[in-house]
Amino acid sequence: MSDELAFLDATAQADLVRRGEVSPAELVDRAIERIEKLDPQLNAVITPLFEKARKQARDPNLPRGPFRGVPFLLKDLVCQSAGDPYHCGMKVLRERGWISDHDTYLAARFRAAGFVFLGKTNVPELGPIPTTEPEAYGPTRNPWDTARSPLGSSGGSAAAVASGMVPVAHGNDGGGSIRIPASACGLVGLKPSRGRTSLGPDLGESWHGLVAEHVLARSVRDTAAILDAVAGPMPGDPYFAPPPARPFLLEVEAQPRPLRIGFWTEAPNRAVAVHPECKKAAESVATLLGSLGHRVEEAHPRALEEEEFQHHMATVVCCWTARDLDYWSGQLGRKLGPDDVEIYTWLVAERGKGIPASEYIASTQWFEAYSRRVAAWWEEGFDVLLTPTLAEPPPLLGDVKSTKENPDRGLVRGLPFVVFTAPFNVTGQPAISLPLHWTPEGLPVGVQFVAPYAREDLLLAIAGQLEKACPWKDRKPPVHA
């Protein structure tokens, strides 16, 4: 039955448990078998928690939430789980054997939903680069082509879900880190609205509000139902998204009204050339949407073309990375130096240390004004914006990795993979990548939809409609369970 379970989504697996057709222990055991079989080829799961998971799955007190007994993986960044290793892709934390002493609020909500944590997934060091190739654990490989990257920073989670190890896995997104690997691995990746899920108790916000947390999934209904289970404010959150009018899951089956959709395939301020297959993906979806009764126009917020964006984004990320190294220096009881972190991490942090506080604040104020300029486009009567998710298909491993000879390589080569996604981390709007196109070589190419703030309902309704019109559930990568 393991092969049958491998590509059932989390909703279907939870339903089997509710009906008594399979036990949580059986789901967990089969998922562990798949991880042990596939992970040597992919290197997605860097911290197995198998015995702990087996014990939890057999515990009669396992929470009876909507996903009781469903196997789950946590990305090893931001979302901590009590008593488990937490390394953030850092070799210095791996060598120290760092263990988290608490669940974050999101981890606790995943547990309450009934998920069983089987392990932690691979990440780039501290997450500022869009490929999952840390020195601490080595590269994660894309199951669609193991010579290529699953991108990142949620690359380990994406590879694990795409290959069938687990039906769903945690991710977070500060510049596209859910949507980027979702596109590269043929998955559904929703970045919720700012404040939809809590970053507490450790953080109120991260990267000046750019970071949001959710999951990578194979189905739209899983994406919606899990958001229903984990969304909502917690004590002390600095802000939170307004609750939906009804459960997000109901939107997936709802027939969306005819929408006015803006359509754009040129990269913001033409910073990079957009690959023909990425353009083709968005163009074919635009045609499909027209046949479904939507009004699709070539239009986009002009503010997205502002060239200053990259400077201000770099300012914020560099400053926060510098703070991350100071934080871990304090936790470890010694000052971290260039030998403790990767070349790119040190480069970014050093730049951050040289930025005056007034310059950082100026960038955050620019972000706030930019967000108003972008959001104003939706006030002109548009419902959704359609773009490619990425400007290129998944690259070869090593192509986005900085080297001693070229420490800036990660920044320069990373740009095509964040150019369409990062603006909406700044604005805080919800955005989703859907697996609606494959290249002639068999590589997945995602298409991104963006809605006004707090309107995940629009994204989930149109995603549900497209999933029916152009289903992807039977597509499996060459490396799969």
> Active site includes 153?
yes
Find all residues with CB under 8 Å of 2, minimum gap 6, and list them.
Answer: 30, 33, 34, 481
- Dist CA 196 CA 203 (whole Å): 14
Strand 188-191 versus strand 431-438 pairing type:
antiparallel
Radius of gyration of the chain (CA): 21
Which tokens is 13 given? 């697996």
Q: Classify the phi-psi angles of 88: left when phi > 0, otherwise alpha if psi is within -120 to 50, otherwise beta.
A: left
Asked whether the beta carbons of 100 and 80 are under 8 A apart, the reply is: yes
Which tokens is 64 given? 């009876």
> Active site includes 206?
no
Residue 6 three-state SS: helix
Per the residue annotation, which of 81, 149, 153, 402 is the catalytic one? 153
Asked whether the beta carbons of 175 and 317 are under 8 A apart, the reply is: yes
Per the residue annotation, which of 149, 163, 177, 183 is the catalytic one? 177
- Dist CA 431 CA 178 (whole Å): 10
Per the residue annotation, which of 75, 120, 191, 401 is the catalytic one? 75
> Active site includes 75?
yes
CA-nearest of 388, 379, 166 to 281 is: 388
- Dist CA 428 CA 194 (whole Å): 5
Give the catalytic positions in this structure.
75, 153, 177
